[in-house]
Structure 1
Amino acid sequence: MKRIHLIILYLVLTLGFAPNQLFAGNIVWYNGKGHVTYSIQKKHASVVDKALDMFAADMKAVTGKKAEKGGDGIINIYQLDRSSNKDMQQLKELGVPFMNFITHDDAFWLGVRQKRIVIVGSNGRGTAYGILELSRLAGVSPWIWWGDVTPEHKSRLTLSDRYETMQSPSVAERGISLQGTQWSTLAWDHQQLDKHFRQDALGPRYYHQLFELMLRLRANTLYTGMPTSSKSHHHIKDDNEVADSFDINVINHPKGKFYSDDGYGYLQNMPASERQDGHDNGKLLYHLSYQGTPHDYLWLATTQPGLIYQSLRNCWDKDIRQQWIAVIHDPKVAAYPLSLFMDMAWNINATGPDALKKHLTEWLVQQFGQEAGEQLAKPMTKFYWLCGLRRPEFMGWNQTGLSEKEHGMDELPVQVSEFNAEQFGNELERFLNDYQEIETDINRVEASIPSRLQDAFFAAVKYPVCAAADMATKQLQAQEARTIGRKESFHHDDEALESAVRSWKAYQDIIRLTNYYNEKMADGKWNGLMNMAPRGLQVFLAPTFIDNLTTGELKKYDGYDGIDAPMDDDGCVVRNACDYTSASKNVSTIEMLGHSMKAVLLPEGASISFQFYAPEGNAALRTALIPTLPCKKEQLRYRVTLDSDTTFTYSLSEQGMSERWKVNVLRGQAIRTDDVRLSSGTHTLTIQALDDGIIVDQWMLDYDRDRQFYLFPVKPAI
C-alpha cells in the first residue's frame, strides 16, 4: 500500500496529474509544461490550416504558449476526403466510427482513443470545426476576437477518456448577409482595419476577421447582395482568395426563390406558384436587423429569442433546410441573436421552446463564466422582454421609409407614444422602473467581472441594456414634460422640469456610453463601430421640450429617479395565454416570446380555454396574438368563444404593407377587439386556431371600452 502511495505522489509531482484525475479516467492534454502538440495527416484543405492557426492562438490565450505541430502530438487530426490508405488504417485501428459520417458534408467526430484526442472531419470544413470544437472545450468563446472574450488562463487541460462527439449540420448552407453596414461597420473598418482600401467597400482585413468568426460559428456562406437590394457594400470579388482560404461560399448574385421574414422576424407566405418549385424552396433569408418601413432597427439587435426559435423551427418543419442566411448590420452588435441562429442552423435541436432561457444562460456562461453568466440570465431575459414590448429604435412612435410623394419626407416626426401615465398604476413609469431594475442588476454583476472580461461585458451587456433604458427614458420623459408643461409656466413647473431633466440626462448618457464604446473600450479597437444615430433618424436626436432647459435647472433637478408605480389592473380581467385552464393535446408554449414571454402555439384546430369570474357589465374583449403571417394557406384565422354563445372570428392576414401590419410589427402584437356583455359569475373563454401558425400572447376584458393605454396589466411569465 505504501508503494502505491509513493507511485501516486511521483505522478502528481512529475507529470502534473491530480489524484482525482488518475481515478476519474481523464487524460491531460496540457499539464502546464511545454506546448499543446498535434499531428495532422499530410494532405488537408487550406481551411484546416486556418483553423490550426486559430487553435494555436487560442492555446496561447489559454496556456500562454501556442499549440505546435509535433510528430507525437497528443492531438491527432484527420480529413477523410483527403486521407490516404495509411490514414484510414490508423482510424480503423483507433476505432473511430468514421463510416457514420463520412458521407455528411462538414461533419466531424472528436473523441479520445488510446490516450489521445482524435479529430476527424468528413471534409476540410468539418475538420476545421472539429479543431475549433476543442478550443471551445478549452474555454475559448467563438467571440474571443469580435467580443473581446479573453479566456481564463489554465495550467491544466483535461478531457474524459470516454469523451466523444459526432456532429453534422442540420442545414447545408449556413450564412450571413451584411446589410446597412454604411452606418457603422464601414466607417469602423476604414478607421481600424482597411485604412487604405476603397471607401465604399469593406476590405480584405475585415473579411479575414469575419471569416474567422464564421468558422467558429460553423457558418459557410456569405451573401454579398440581395436580389432586390440597392447598391451593395460588398466588393469581395477582388478578394476571393480570402474566402477560398476559409472555404466560404460567396454568393454575389443569389438566384431562385427563397422564404423570407417581413423584415421584423415574422415569416411571410410564399405564393403557391412558387411553392411548387421544390428545388429553390429550401432557402431562408432572416433579418436580425433591418432598414425600411415602418422603421429601421440598425442600432441594437433585440429580436426576442423565442421569435427567432419559432421562425427557424417553422422553416425546418416545412423542409426549408438547404440554406439559412441571417441578415445583420454588424456581427458584434448581434452576438447573441446570431449565435442562436447559427446554433440552430448547425443543430436544429440545440434548443427548444421550453429551453430558450437555458440557451441564453449557457451563452452568457460561455462568455463570462459560470457564476456571472447565471447571475446575468435573469436581467438579460427581462431585457428581451422589455425590448419585445417596444424595440429601442421604435420608441419615437413614428415611421420611416415613407414615400416622398405621400409625405414629402423619408420619416415622420417623433409622435406621442401610447404609454399612458394615468392608466394601470402609471404604466409609463413602471416601464422605466423595469429598465432601471435590470440596470441595477447588471451593475451588481459587473463588480464581479474580471478585468480581462470588462470590455466584453460592456459591449454585450452594459451598452445595450443601459442605452435601451436611456432611449426609453429620453422619449417617454420628454413626452411627459411636453404633456405636463405649458409655455407660460414651464420654468416654474417642478413636475415638467423633473421629467425634462430626466430625459436630457438620458440622452447625455447615451452619448457617454457610445463615446466609451468607441474610444475607450478595448483601447479604441472598435472606434467608429457604434453609431448611436444610424441614418440620423429623429428617434435618436436630442429630446425637445416646450423651452430650453437652463444650467440651473439641470443642476436643481438632477438626481430625480422617478416614482414607484405598482401595477393596478383597474378591474380588468387579464391573462397571459400560458395561464390557460385547459388545452388541446398539441398545444405548446414558447419561452421568451411576446409581451407575456411565454406565448402559446396552436396548431390548426387546437384551442385553449380559461375559466374566470367577472362582474356584470359591458366590456371590450381584446385578444393579443404574435403578429405571424400565413404560412400554408392564404388565411391565418382564429376563433374566440365566450360562454359558448358569443363567437368572433378574426384573421391575421394582411395585404402588403398595410397600416395595421405596421402597427403590429412595431408593437410585437396583433390586437383584435370586440364589445361583449357579461353577467356576474364564472365564465369560459376559448381561443381556437382555424389555421396553422396562430400564437396567442394575452387577452383581457376591459370595462372601460374607450381606454387609451399600451400594455396589458399583467406580469410576464419570466
Structure 2
Amino acid sequence: MRPFLALAALMLPLVAAPSAAAATGRHGTDDLGGYVSTHPGPGRFPIADRGRVAPIVVSAGDHAGVIRVADDLQSDLEKVTGTRPAVGHDTLPTGRDPIILGTLGKSPLIDRMVAAGRLDVRGLAGKWETTVEQIVEHPLPGVRRAFVIAGSDQRGTIYGAYDLSKRIGISPWHFWDDVPVRHRDALYALPGRHTQGTPAVRYRGFFINDENPATGTWAPGYFGPGKAPGFPNGLNAAYYAQVFETMLRLRANYLWPAVWGRAFAEDDPQNHATASYYGVVMGTSHEAPMMRGIEEWNRHAKNGTDPYGGNGEWSFRRNADAIKAYWRDGAERMAREKIEGVITLGMRGNGDVSLPDGDGIDLMSSIIDTQRQILRDTGLIGAPQVQTLYKEVQRYWDQGYRPPDDVTVVFCDDNWGNMRKFPYASMPKRSGGYGMYYHFDYVGGGRNYKWADTVNLTNTWEQLHRAYTSGIDRLWMVNVGDLKNEEEPTQFFLDYAWNPNAIPLHELGGWEKQYAAQNFGPALAPAIAGLLADYGYLQSRRKPELLNRRITLNPTTNEIVYDDQATPFSLTDYREMDRVTAEWQTMGARADRLRRLVPAAWQDAFYQLVYYQVKATANLYALRRAEFTNILYAAQGRASTNDLADVAEARFAEDQAMSDYYNTRLAGGKWKNWQLQPKIGYGNVERYGPNAPWQQPEKDNVALPDEIYPYLKRIEVPAAAALGVALDGGDAHVLPEFSPWQSQPQQYIDVFNKGATPFAYRITAGEPWVHVTPAAGRVGKEVRATVRVDWSRAPAGTTTVPITISGAGEQVVVQAPVRRPALRPSGFAEANGYVSMLAPHYTRKVGQWQVLPRIGKTGDGLTPLGGDGARLEYAMTLTTTGPVRVSAVLSPRNDALPTPGLRYAISVDDQAPQTVDVTAATGANATTMNRQWERNTSDNVNVTTTTHTIDRAGTHTLKFWMVDPTVILQKLVVDTGGVKYSYLGPPESRVYGR
C-alpha cells in the first residue's frame, strides 16, 4: 500500500527550519540567564553595583520611540535596584560608564562608534528589527567603556532595551497581571557580542477582539472614557499606550485594535499618534478595509444616509461612490498622519458576515482594483497590503482569484486553531508572501469561547510549525480576546514567530518553565509550569462554555443533534464524568498547595496567571457533575437528589465569590468589573432567546441561581423507605459484561433510598465466584457496592449470573454476564465489546512518525512524516467474528493541502486497505461552518468509521496507513458490539505480551 508517495513534494516535515534569527557571539549562562548576571567577574560591565546604577544615554535625534523607551528602562532599573539612574540626551556622563542606547543611522552616538571602528555592526546594518548588545571599550572620547544597545531600526533598539529589562527581572505582564519585581543589589552585563537575531516573521501581532464585557467595562473605568462625543465606552490613548508597551516587551510590532462598537481613530484623536510614538504598526481586521474600522462607517452612516451622499448601505454594488469616498478618506488620513500600517484590502459584510452582494470573483476583483487605485492616488501603493481569506473569503482564492503579487495573502484557521490552508511547493512565489490569522478566542458557532485560556500548546506548536515551514512568514496575527486571560499562549505565539528554531517540540516544557520563572522565579517554576501544562491539556478537551452541550448523530436522519441540557461526559458509562471531575479536583488541589508556597508579594500575580483559571475551572466541573447527577437522580427518585442541587448551588456561589474577589479586592481593586464573562448559562433559549445556543448569555448572576442551566431539580422525598437500584453502565437490568481482559476490574451497583427512612439491604450473587462488597449494610441515602469476579474459579465460556438486591421489603434481580475466553491474548484484548488503543501504543511502526505530546483528548497523537509504506500496526485479540466497526479518532484538522480531502487508509491483517476521506465522511465544511464542522471543533476530534470483517477469533493486526501528511491520529476503537456513548471514548484496553 503506497497511496502517499505522490504527495512527497507536499509534505511539511516537523523538523526545524533554517534559522532566521540565529544569535551571534558568546551567550553567557549565569543566574539571570543570557548576558546578565548578579555576580561580578572579569570583563563584566556593572549595570548596578554598590548602590550605583549606570546612567542611560540616548540621542535626542533618535526615533521618538527610542527616546521614550529609555525612560522605561530607567524606571525598570529603579524597580529592580531601588536606585533611579540618570537619563541623558546626547550628553555623556563624566566619570561613569554609561548604557548607550541608539539606532544605527539615526543616533549620532552609535554612528560615531561605528565610524571609529569601536562597534561591530555586522549582522545589524540593513536588517529588520535587529539588536546588538555588547560592552564597548573606549566607545567615545572621554568614556572608558559602555554597555551599548544598538538597533538596526527603531523597533530593533526598543526590543533591545526591553530585552535588558526582561533579563533583569521585569515581566512583560507586570501591568496586566501585577507581577512584582525581585530586588537586585548588583547587575552585570557579560562580555561578548549578544543579539536576539532577526525575527523570522516580519509582522507579528494580536487582535484585541470580543472585548465585551471585560475590557469594554473595565478599561473606560480605569483609563477614563473614550474621547468621541456620544461614545464614552471607547478605548482611549492611555489604554492603548499600555497595550503598545506590552506588545513591544513581547517583541510584537502589529496590532488590530478593538472593534466591538469601537473606532480606534475616533475614540481618541491621539490613538494613531500614540501608536506612532511607540513605534507600533497598525492594521485593521479582515472586515475593515483601507485602514478604517467598520464602526467608523456605522457611526456616520445612519438613518439611510451617509456623509458621502450615499444611501448608508455597506454595499459596493449599490453604494459604490460613497464607499469609495469613505475608503479614500482612510487612505488620505494614513498618508497625512504618516501612519505606519498594513492596509487590509477586500471587503466583507457589515458585522463580520459575508457580503450581501454575493461572492463573484468579478466583484472582489473590482473592489481590490478600486482600493489599489486609491492607494496609487494617495501615494500609498508601496505600503504593505494584505487580503485575509477569512471564512467565505477563501472561496475567491479556491475559485482562482489572485490579488496583486505584492499583496500578502493571509490564510486563516477555522476559528478553533485548525488552519484551513497552507501554501505548497507548486504554488508560485509571491513578493507579498503569505500570512496567517489564528485564534485563541472566538465568538461564533458552535459556541463562543471567551472566558479562560483553553489553548493546548502542543496543538498550537504543530500548526504554527506547519505554517512557518510551508512558507507563511510575512505576517502572523492572533485573536487574543481581551489579551488579559490569554497571556501564556500569546507570549508563546510571539516567541515562536520571532524564532521558531528556538522552540523545537521537545523544548515546549523548557519554554513553559522559562515563562513561569519570568513571572514567579526559578524555585517555583517547575511546579507552576507543570500545573499550566496539565491545565492546557485538560482544558483543551472541551471549552468550558460547552460543558452543557452534548452533540450526537441521529442514525435515522444522519443529522447532527444538539442537546444543551445534557453533559457531553457520560454519567453512566466508563465512569467518565467522575474521572474527568476527579482530574480537575486534583488540579485544583495542586493549585491550592502551590498558592501556599507563593510569596505574599506574588499572590496577586499568581491568582491572575495561574490560580483563577485552574481553580475556577475545577469548580465549574464540580458544578456540572453535581448539576447533571442531580437531574439524573431526580428521574430515579433518589433521596440524595436535593443534596446534589445543594452542591451545585454551592459551586455556583463559589464561582461568583471568585469573580467577586477578582472584581473588588484583587490587586487592591485594580480589576474592578473585569471578571464578568458568562460561561454557565449558554443554551437557555427561554431566558436569552434564539441565539442562546451559541451566543453568550447576558450574565452569570449571583442573584439568579436558576442561571445554572439546565435547571436543577428538587423533589419531595416521602418518609417511607423504598428500594432503588442503579447499575454501572446505565442499564436497568444488566451490568456491563465481565471479562478477565477488561481494563476496569470491577463494576458497581448503587443501592439507594427513595424515601427518608433508612433501611437494611443485602446483595446475593448466584455464583460463589462473584463477589460483592459490601454485600450487606444499611442505606441512609445510597450505598455503592462493587462487583468483581474470581477468575481462578470462573468457568470458561459465557455465563450469566443473577444478583439479588433486597431491602425495604423489596427485591430486585439484575444479571451479570461473565465471559472467560479460552484464547491466550496477545496485544490489545477485546473486552466489554470493544478494543480501544491509544495511538502511541502501536506494536510496530513503518516509516517516520512524529509523537505530539498530549495533543489529543486522551494523550499523545501521532502524525506521519513519510517513508515507504508508512503505517502503524496494532496487534489485538478478538473473540468476536463477523463485521466490526473501526473508528479512527483524529485531531479536527481541515483539508489544508491541495489533495482530495483529508485522508488515511486502514486495514485488518492482509485485507485491502480502505481509504477514508475524513472531510467527505464527516461532511464538515470549514468555509460554511456547518453543523458537522461545529461538532468536530466542539468535540475537538474528527471521528470516522469503517467496517471490516473478522473471519476468526484470535490475534489480528490493525493497520493505520499514511495518505495525507497532516492527519494526526489520537486513538483507534474497534467496536465489536459493546461501545457506549462517551465523550473521551472507551478507556484503553489491556495489552498483553509487552
Q: Is the 8 A contact 1:32 1:155 kept in 2?
A: yes
Matched, 1:645 2:911: yes
Query: How many angstroms apart in 2 are the aligned matches of 1:689 and 1:281?
Result: 30
- Return the match for 2:253 from 196, 199, 220: 220
* Distance verdict in 2 for CA 1:110–1:391, change over 3 Å: same
TM-score scaled to structure 1, two decimals? Answer: 0.86
Corresponding position: 1:577 with 2:595? no
Equivalent pairs: percent with the same residue? 21
Report the counterpart of residue 864 of structure 2 in structure 1. Answer: 602
Q: 1:116 to 1:709 in 2, by over 3 A?
A: same
Note if contact 2:871-2:962 (Cα within 8 Å) is conserved in structure 1.
no
> Which region of structure 1 is more displaced relative to structure 2, 604-613 or 586-595?
604-613
Distance in 2, Cα, partners of 1:284 & 1:564: 55
- Tell me which residue corresponds to 2:100: 76
Aligned-partner residue type, residue 211 of structure 2 = T
Structure-1 separation of matches of 2:698 and 2:975: 34
Quote the residue 1:106 is aligned against.
129
Please report how far the alpha carbon of residue 374 of structure 1 lies from its aligned counterpart in structure 2 after TM superposition. Answer: 0.7
Deviations 1:385-437 (A, max 9, x none): 211211212112169xxxxxxxxxxx98733123223322x111010000010
**Using the alignment, how far apart are the partners of 1:355 and 1:231 within structure 2?**
41
Q: Contact conserved, 2:849 with 2:865, CA < 8 A, in 1?
A: yes
Quote how far apart the aligned CAs of 1:466 are.
1.4
The alpha-carbon distance between structure 1 residues 270 and 34, as it changes in their structure 2 partners (threshold 3 A), is closer
1:276 deviates by 5.9
Please name the residue that 1:88 is paired with.
111
Per-residue CA distance 1:600-641 (angstroms, 9 max, x = gap): 222467734233231321543221111111122152111112
Residue matched to 1:545:
712
1:657 is matched with which residue: 924, 929, 939? 929
- Matched ranges for 1:320-339 at <5 A: 320-339=472-491
Q: Which residue of 2 aligns with 1:621?
A: 886
Answer yes or no: is the 8 Å Cα contact 1:396–1:538 preserved in 2: no
Aligned counterparts, 1:411-426, within 5 A: 414-424=564-574, 426=575
Alignment of 1:130 with 2:160, yes or no, is yes
Change (3 A) 1:538 1:88: closer
Q: 1:192 aligns with which of 222, 241, 247?
A: 222
2 CA distance for matches of 1:33 and 1:563? 68
Hey, what's the Cα distance between the residues in 2 that align with 1:584 and 1:234?
55
From 415, 418, 427, give the equivalent of 1:263: 415
Residues 230 and 137 (structure 1 numbering): CA distance in 2 closer, same or farther, change over 3 Å?
closer
How many residues are aligned here? 667
Partner secondary structure for residue 461 of structure 1: helix
3-state SS, counterpart of residue 419 of structure 1? coil
Report the more deviating stretch, 520-529 or 685-694. 685-694
Deviations 1:684-708 (A, max 9, x none): 2222231231111122224344511
Deviation, 1:324, is: 0.7
Distance in 2 of aligned mates of 1:177 and 1:591: 28
Instruction: Please say which structure displays the higher CA radius of gyration.
Output: 2
Q: Which amino acid aligns with 1:482?
A: I
Match of 1:690 among 963, 967, 982: 963
1:626-683 Cα offsets, whole Å, 9 max, x none, are 1111122152111112212153322232333232211111111111123444444433
Q: Is this contact kept in 2: 1:181–1:329, CA < 8 A?
A: yes
- Mark the CA change 1:611 to 1:243 in structure 2 (over 3 Å): closer, same or farther: same
C-alpha contact (below 8 Å) 1:201/1:235 kept by paired residues = no
Q: Tell whether the 8 Å contact from 2:70 to 2:101 is kept in structure 1 after alignment.
A: no
Which residue of the partner structure matches residue 361 of structure 1? Answer: 513
Match of 2:235 among 188, 196, 202: 202
Q: Which residue is 2:939 aligned to?
A: 667
The worse-fitting range, judged by mean Cα deviation, of 204-213 and 102-111 is 102-111
Cα RMSD (Å): 3.3
Task: Name the CA distance, whole Å, in 1 between partners of 2:984 and 2:667.
Answer: 39
Could you report, residue by residue, the CA deviation over 1:147-204 in whole angstroms, capped at 9, with x for unpaired residues? 2111111111123324623421111111111111122111101111124643342111
Query: The residue matched to 2:657 in structure 1 has which SS?
Result: helix
Residue 294 of structure 1: CA displacement?
A: 0.8
Partner residue, 1:6? none
Residue 175 of structure 1 corresponds to: 205
**Residue 282 of structure 2: aligned partner:** 250
Distance in 1 (alpha carbons) for counterparts of 2:416 and 2:486: 15
Give the C-alpha shift of residue 376 in structure 1. Answer: 1.6
Give the drift of 1:62.
0.9
Partner residue, 1:458: 607
CA contact under 8 A between 1:580 and 1:609: conserved in structure 2? yes
Does 2:637 align with 1:470?
no
Change (3 A) 1:88 1:468: same
User: In 1, are the aligned partners of 2:979 and 2:986 still within 8 Å (CA)?
Assistant: no
The question of whether the paired residues in 2 share the 8 Å contact of 1:113 and 1:161 is answered with no
Given the alignment of the two structures, is residue 435 of structure 1 paired with residue 576 of structure 2, yes or no? no
- Structure having the higher helix fraction is 1
Match of 2:500, SS state, is coil
C-alpha contact (below 8 Å) 1:580/1:608 kept by paired residues: no
Say if 2:172 and 2:250, in contact at 8 Å, map to a contact too: yes
**Aligned pairs for 1:296-307 within 5 A:** 296-307=448-459
Is 1:500 the counterpart of 2:645? The answer is: yes
Structure 1: how far apart are the matches of 2:110 and 2:119?
A: 12
- Distance in 2 (CA, whole Å) between partners of 1:597 and 1:36 is 51
Distance change in 2, residues 1:672/1:57 (3 Å) = same
Report the CA distance between 1:102 and its aligned residue. Answer: 1.4
How far off is 1:134 after superposition?
Answer: 0.5
- CA gap 1:271/1:346 in 2 versus in 1, 3 angstroms: closer
The letter for the 2-side match of 1:88 is D
Q: Does 1:635 align with 2:801?
A: no
Query: Could you say if the C-alpha distance between residues 279 and 161 of structure 1 is closer, same or farther in structure 2, counting changes exceeding 3 Å?
Result: closer
Check the 8 A contact 1:577/1:599 in 2, yes or no.
yes
CA offsets per residue over residues 255-300 of structure 1, 9 Å max, x none? 224211111011113799x976835551211111000011110111
Following the alignment from structure 2 to structure 1, what is the Cα–Cα distance between the partners of residues 609 and 63?
A: 34
Q: Residue 389 of structure 1 aligns to a residue in which SS?
A: coil
8 Å contact kept, 1:110–1:166: no
Paired AA for residue 77 in structure 1 = L
- Structure 1 residue 481 displacement after superposition: 0.9
Q: What is the match of residue 510 of structure 1?
A: 655
Cα contact 1:305–1:592 (8 A) shared by 2: no
2:190 corresponding residue in structure 1: 160
Instruction: Provide, for residues 442-478 of structure 1, a one-character-per-residue CA deviation record: whole Å limited to 9, x for no partner.
Output: 1111111111111110011111111112222222321
Structure 2 segments unaligned to the other structure (5+ residues): 1-36, 138-144, 290-343, 346-386, 389-409, 552-560, 680-694, 701-706, 718-755, 757-780, 788-829, 990-994
Contact in 2 for aligned 1:178/1:327 (Cα 8 Å): yes
Structure 1 residues 74 and 596: CA distance shift in structure 2, 3 A: farther
Change (3 A) 1:563 1:24: farther
C-alpha separation between the residues in 1 aligned to 2:784 and 2:528?
A: 25
Q: Is the CA contact 1:632–1:692 (under 8 Å) kept in the aligned structure 2?
A: no
Asked if 1 retains the 8 angstrom alpha-carbon contact of 2:57 and 2:100, the reply is yes
| 1:17-56 alignment runs, 5 A limit | 21=39, 26-56=44-74
Cα separation, partners in 2 of 1:234 and 1:652, compared to 1, 3 Å: farther
User: Of 159, 176, 179, which aligns to 1:149?
Assistant: 179
1:538 and 1:522, CA in 2 relative to 1: closer, same or farther beyond 3 A?
closer
Q: Which residue of 2 aligns with 1:3?
A: none
Which residue is 2:630 aligned to? 481
Give the aligned residue type for 2:914: F
CA contact (8 A) 1:510 1:532 kept: no
Letter in 2 for 1:600: L
